[in-house]
Amino acid sequence: MLQSEPNTTSTDFQAFNTSGSEGLAELVHWTFGILRRQYFVIIFVAALCLGMGIIYLSIATPIYTAKTSVYIDLHRSPMGQQVGIFGNDPIEIDSQIQIIKSRAIALSVIKKLQLSNESEFKSTGLSHGLVSHLLDFLLGATAPASTDADLQELDAKVAAFDSALTVDRVADSRVITISYNSTSPVLAAQIANAIANAYIADQLEAKYEANRLAGSWLQERQQQLREQSDAAQRAVESFKKQNNIVTADGKPIDDKQIADLNGRLVAARTQVSDIRARLSRLQTMIDLGPANANVDGEISELNSPIVLSLRQQYLELSRREAEWSARYGQNHLAVVNLRNRMQEIRQSMFDELRRATETAKNDYEIAKQRQSEIENQLSTAVAQSRSTNQAQVTLSGLESTAIGYRNLYDSFVQHYMGATQEATFPITEARVISPASIPLQKSKPKTLIVLALSIFGGIGIGCGLALLRDAMDRVFRTANQVETALQLPCIALVPLVNGDFGKQLPRKAALGINAGRDGPVSRDADVIWTVVNTPLSSFAESIRSIKLAVDLHLEGRACKVVGFTSTFPNEGKSTIAASLTQLIAQAGGRVLLVDCDLRNPTLSRLLAPNASIGVVDVVSRRHSIAEAILREPKTKMAILPAGKSIPLFLTSEILGGDAMIKLFEVLRENYDYIIVDLPPLTPIVDVRTSTRLVDSYVLTVEWGRTNVDAVEHALKGAPKIYDSLLGTVLNKTDMGSMRRYDNTGRYDYNKDFTRYGYID
């Protein structure tokens, strides 16, 4: 079956490879292919848009733009610096921009410059009035009062003023640019400067009024805060007196005494813990007795001269005992005496250790008594402090209130002094740094921009239309496209023939008869005889390509039966079939051209217009094969015309009948090639009944006319025909236009063919 693939355009463009340079190269080729095919559309649309741009420039009213720059110093005011009301610059700058664009500034400028008399504002007011009256008339409303009409006219002027005004911030700076558009350059400069001056005047007025109101309010509030601060301080002192609260270095005396006792208690507890640990260690040594080996080490920690002397004697005797034991033996009398002496000294050291233990017990009792006394003193102090805790909490609140009132009062005094100074000499944070001058060139419309937009916009629209037009061109244009869409080889590209080749031979001639019966073969159809008339043309070469494909595909067959069909009528299948027959006949092959297009026998009308016997007569056995076949004596081409007309509904029965099969069996025995001209696929079903007659089919597709979807649909409906297809022929190809659809250079061969004798 036909493996149909989507065909996006009329070119042989396939799906792009997404890998590497191959995909990019295919994309470039596809793009240039569309440009080659649709360049006229792109140029036409671009020229049209350019013309529209030129017309617009010629009729558009020139607009002039005047600009003035205003610098805003947000931190000049001392009050602003102290309270931080201008901490967020971007928000404040945006606020100032809205002030400049406010209705109050607009009305001030309109009134000052008397803009109501300018034509720009008159036309706006007039049109607005006409629209308002028309709406009132349509809605049936009563005529507005004169006051309402004046307000509407004023609103219209303000709206016109706002539409021509542009206020922007310069990058991230504090500079604001005021731009005004007008048809008069002088008026544009005047209005831009007037807006800046009106804004500065409005800021001065607002600053003066704000300072005046702030000064009055601060003065009243300052007096209130002073009275509140004094009252809070008096309440603090009175409360201290009532509750006998005395402080030292800002802290109550009870708290200081408790802190001292806490420190002493910590030291006493530490001492008790140390003595108890030492006593426990000494008591452990006493319990172990004088024989304990660790007695010597524990005694070394006692800082007593007696203990140190005994220990030194013990160590000396221990050394001598070790030396004499090694020299005289363990049981020598002198060694035994030394051991006895060491035992006495050890008992003396143990006695000293017992006395040290008794001393430690006494120290432990004394330390515990001191700790108990300090704990009692701390309990008494804490009990006394608790009675004044509630009063201290209240006192802290009163002191905090007094401090808060004092700080607030000091702050308001400072603000009041600043407001008093600013009220006497108000200043504004804004100043003009670049006044507007009269513009010398128009700002709108910009000629270069309009022309550039016209050209590039036209090119863009043209490319879009070209792409759409190319995508909608669902016809066959290239061999690649045929092979991709139909999954069949394109065996030949047959060029379009204009019909002038027939002038090389006589236009009419009765060239042959058969069996003694008059049956002339006509030479009126110039295109059909192109292979004979101009054998060195590209048309003839394409027919040779078809013959080569037939020979290779049907190699080894005694007789090659090839059927030529198409999707629609008038695609040139009959011409291709006749031309192939002529080519084979000229080469000396035994070939027969059979016209099996029984409903529309084009070949019979062109080549044998006077024939009265044909296929139908032979199948019906009214005449023999020899009587029906005509021969052209020069090319030796044999033709079997369609013959007598029959009812149209019987043609498929005849082509698929047993009589037709037997006829072709007889013809196979007498010819090497049988070329069959069959009906088209789409209009009728006759060609589908010919599968038992034909070895292979050749599908003829007309260049630039046959629809891709129609061919795919026709082949899907005839699977047996598709399976037997040898290939396709792209007929009536405009070789000059092919260069626009395929950039491989495979169609630009005429200049090379002249070296081999070809003539076109």
**With 90 as the cut, is the pLDDT of residue 398 above it?**
no
Reported as a pLDDT band with limits 50, 70 and 90, residue 581 is very high
Give the total number of structural domains in the chain: 4
Query: What separation, in Å, do the N-terminal and C-terminal C-alpha atoms of the chain show?
Result: 39
- Greater confidence, 26 or 684? 684
Q: What is the pLDDT of residue 297?
A: 58
**With 90 as the cut, is the pLDDT of residue 674 above it?**
yes
The answer to the question of residue 655 being in a domain is yes
Helix (H) or strand (E) holding 578: helix 573-586
Do 684 and 600 form a contact (C-beta atoms < 8 A)?
Answer: no
Do 195 and 105 form a contact (C-beta atoms < 8 A)?
Answer: yes
Of the three residues 181, 211, 241, the one that is the final residue of a domain is 211
Reported as a pLDDT band with limits 50, 70 and 90, residue 79 is very low
Reported as a pLDDT band with limits 50, 70 and 90, residue 673 is very high
Do 308 and 336 form a contact (C-beta atoms < 8 A)?
Answer: no
| Three-state secondary structure of 84-152 | CCCCCHHHHHHHHHHHHCCHHHHHHHHHHHCHHHCHHHHHHHHHHHHHHHHHHHHHCCCCCCHHHHHHH
pLDDT digit string, tens, across residues 455-503: 988 888 888 887 887 777 788 888 888 888 888 899 988 888 875 433 3
The answer to the question of residue 516 being in a domain is yes
Q: How far apart are the C-alpha atoms of 45 and 463, rounded to whole Å?
A: 9
Of the three residues 361, 387, 413, the one that is the final residue of a domain is 387
Question: Whole domain around residue 687: which residue ranges?
Answer: 479-752
Q: What is the pLDDT of residue 304?
A: 66
Q: What is the pLDDT of residue 384?
A: 66
pLDDT digit string, tens, across residues 521-573: 555 556 778 888 888 888 888 889 998 999 898 888 888 899 999 999 988 89
**With 80 as the cut, is the pLDDT of residue 404 above it?**
no
pLDDT digit string, tens, across residues 254-275: 667 777 778 887 888 887 888 7
pLDDT digit string, tens, across residues 321-346: 788 888 888 788 877 788 778 777 77
Q: How far apart are the C-alpha atoms of 450 and 472, rounded to whole Å?
A: 32
Say how far residue 132 (Cα) sits from the centre of its chain. 47
Question: What is the rounded average pLDDT of the residues 136-159?
Answer: 68
Q: How far apart are the C-alpha atoms of 227 and 235, rounded to whole Å?
A: 12
Residues 34 and 72 in one domain: no
**With 60 as the cut, is the pLDDT of residue 13 above it?**
no
Residues 328 and 309 in one domain: yes
Residues 742 and 604 in one domain: yes
Q: What is the pLDDT of residue 729?
A: 92
Q: How far apart are the C-alpha atoms of 26 and 473, rounded to whole Å?
A: 20
Of the three residues 364, 387, 410, the one that is the final residue of a domain is 387
pLDDT digit string, tens, across residues 407-452: 777 777 777 676 666 666 566 778 888 898 888 888 888 888 888 8
**With 70 as the cut, is the pLDDT of residue 747 above it?**
no
The answer to the question of residue 229 being in a domain is no
The answer to the question of residue 721 being in a domain is yes
- Greater confidence, 6 or 108? 108
- Greater confidence, 17 or 424? 424
Residues 706 and 597 in one domain: yes
Interior angle at CA 477, CA 597 and CA 547, nearest 5: 50
Do 669 and 625 form a contact (C-beta atoms < 8 A)?
Answer: no
Q: What is the pLDDT of residue 95?
A: 85
Residues 541 and 604 in one domain: yes
Question: What is the rounded average pLDDT of the residues 347-368?
Answer: 78
The answer to the question of residue 291 being in a domain is yes
Per the prediction, the chain carries an average pLDDT of: 77
Reported as a pLDDT band with limits 50, 70 and 90, residue 139 is low
**With 50 as the cut, is the pLDDT of residue 225 above it?**
yes
- Greater confidence, 355 or 53? 53
Q: What is the pLDDT of residue 244?
A: 62
Residues 54 and 68 in one domain: no
Q: What is the pLDDT of residue 701?
A: 92
Residues 682 and 536 in one domain: yes
Do 342 and 321 form a contact (C-beta atoms < 8 A)?
Answer: yes
CA nearest to 279, candidates 212, 155, 366? 366
The answer to the question of residue 601 being in a domain is yes
Residues 69 and 55 in one domain: no
Residues 575 and 591 in one domain: yes
Give every CB contact of residue 190 below 8 A, 6+ residues apart in sequence: 113
Do 156 and 107 form a contact (C-beta atoms < 8 A)?
Answer: no
Q: How far apart are the C-alpha atoms of 296 and 302, rounded to whole Å?
A: 10
**With 60 as the cut, is the pLDDT of residue 88 above it?**
no
Residues 39 and 121 in one domain: no
| Three-state secondary structure of 186-216 | HHHHHHHHHHHHHHHHHHHHHHHHHHHHHHH
Residues 519 and 556 in one domain: yes
Q: What is the pLDDT of residue 85?
A: 39
The answer to the question of residue 109 being in a domain is yes
- Bridge pairing between strands 673-677 and 64-72: unpaired
Question: What is the rounded average pLDDT of the residues 299-314?
Answer: 68
**With 60 as the cut, is the pLDDT of residue 124 above it?**
no
Which residue is it, tokens 């003839």? 540
- Greater confidence, 86 or 622? 622
Say if pTM beats, i.e. exceeds, 0.75. Answer: no
**With 60 as the cut, is the pLDDT of residue 99 above it?**
yes
Per cent of the chain over pLDDT 70 is 76
Question: What is the rounded average pLDDT of the residues 671-691?
Answer: 90
The side-by-side arrangement of strands in the sheet containing 175-182 is: 165-169, 175-182, 64-72, 430-434
Kindly report the CATH number assigned to the domain that includes residue 695.
Answer: 3.40.50.300
- Greater confidence, 141 or 351? 351
Residues 50 and 70 in one domain: no
The answer to the question of residue 79 being in a domain is yes
Q: What is the pLDDT of residue 727?
A: 92
Q: Residue 632 has which token pair?
A: 């052209």
Q: Where are the alpha helices (DSSP H) in 176-184?
A: none
According to DSSP, residue 501 is labeled G
Q: How far apart are the C-alpha atoms of 612 and 312, rounded to whole Å?
A: 160
